[in-house]
Amino acid sequence: MSQDLCFLPATELRARISSKEVSPVEITRAVLERAERLQPELNCFITLCGEEAMVQAQTAERQVMAGEPLGLLHGIPLTVKDIVNTRGVRTTFGAVPYRNNVPDEDAVAVARLRAQGAVLIGKTTTPEFGSKCLTDSPLFGRTRNAWSAARTSGGSSGGAAVAVASGIAPLAIATDGGGSTRIPAACNGVVGLKQSNGVIPHSQVQDAFGNQTYVTPTTRSVADTALMMQAMAGEDASDPWSIGLAVPDFIEAATPSGDLRGRKVLFCLSPPGRPVASEVAASFRASLERLAGLGAELEEFSGEGFDVEPIWRAINHTVWRSRFEPFAEKHGDELSEAFLRQLALAANVSGVEYQRAMFERTALFRRVQSLFTRADWLAMPTLTRTALPIEQDLFGAIDIDGRSFDNLRPHWFPWTMPFNMTGHPAISLPGGFDRDGLPIGIQLVGRFRADAELLRLAAMFEASSGLLGRWPG
C-alpha cells in the first residue's frame, strides 16, 4: 500500500485525502520511509525533516477529520530545492560555507504552497548556488539519476527531479536559470516547467529587473504541475514582473480535451552545427507525429540565431561574479574548482560587452516573438542526448553517438538557455526512452505569458504518449 501511495499523483492524493480514503499521516510516513531507504543510493536530499513533516501531517489529518476547509495541496508531500529559502529548515545553497544556514522566512513560492497545506519533507540537492547542469558539490557529493546509478541526475535541480521520479514525493520546487529545471526533468523522465517571466514571483533574486532565473515546479504529470502553478502564481510586491498579472485557471487548462486542429507547431531539431544523438532525433520525430495525430499543423523553423550560449554566459557569469567574487575570495578553499572557474570566466567581460549581450537578449526575444506570428507553439528536443555519465566534468568533453565535443553547455542543452533570456514559458515532457531505458525529453514552448495554453498542449501530448505511469524500478 505504501509503495502505491508513493507513486500516486498529487491530484489523486488530493481526492483521496478529501474523501478521507487515505490520511496525510499515512502518505507522509510512506514517502519519508521511501526517502530514507533510497537516499543512500540516490543522494537526492541534503536535509530530511521527518519529525517536522509528521507534525504537519498530523495537523492536516485533524483538519480533515474536523471538516475544516482544505487547501489545494492539503497533506500532500513537497520537497524544496536547497537554493530556495525555507523558514526554520536548513538551506545550504549546496555550499560548504552555508552548511548551517537556517533562513528566518520562506521564499514567496514556498510560503504559498505551505499555505495551501503542502507538507515539506526535505530539501533536495543542488550544486553550489545552482551553478551548473550537474548536481554535485563538496558538501554532499554526487546525486545519481533515478533510472541509472551510472548516470548524472542533470542539474542544477537534480535532487528535485530524482526525488519526484523515484516516488519520494509528487511535488518539488526547483529553480531554472539556464535549463536547471528542464535538464534534470529530461534526464529523469518527469515534467519540468519554466514558466513565463513574473508568473511565479521570485522573492530572492537580487536583480529583479534583469532577472533570467525562475522558481519552478517539477512533478510527474502535467496536472500536478498545474496544481502547483495554481498555488504559486500571482503578484507579489517583491517581483516587479509579477505585478498586475492575473492568475488563470491552470487546473482547468491542464485537462487533456479536444484536439489541435487549426493550430500550428513550429519545430527544429537543433541550432546549426549542434549534433543530436540518433535516438533523440528518432524520439523527437515520433513526438512530432503524436502532435500531428492530435491535429496540429507542423512546420520546420530555422535554428539560425538560437546558438546563444555566449550571450547567456556573458550575462549569467557576470551576475555570478558580482554576487560571489568577495565570497569566493573569503571561502575559496571550501568551494569547488568548477564554481571558481565559472566565476573566472566573467573576469574579462567588460561593462560594454555585458550591455551588448543585453541588447542581444532583446533581439532574441523579438526573434522568438516573430516565430509566434506564424504559429501557436514551438517544439524541440530538451537535450541533444540522454543523461551524461555520473563522473562527467562540467569542463570536460561531451560524447554524442561516439563523437566527442568540447564545451558541454551548447552541445547538450542549446535549447533551454534561450527561453530563460526571453521569458517565454517552456516545458520539458517525457518523450520516449533510448535503448538503455533512459528517458528522452521533448521541450514545448508557448507564447509569452500564455502558460495556461502551454499546459493544455502539454496535457494533450502527455495523454497521447502513453508514458505516464512508467517509472524506475
The residues carrying an active-site annotation are 81, 156, 180
Q: What gap in Å lies between CA 341 and CA 337, rounded to an integer?
A: 6
Q: What gap in Å lies between CA 134 and CA 60, rounded to an integer?
A: 36
Q: Are 185 and 441 in contact (CB under 8 A)?
A: yes
C-alpha cell recorded at residue 444: 514545448
Q: Could you tell me how far CA 242 lies from the centroid of its own chain?
A: 19
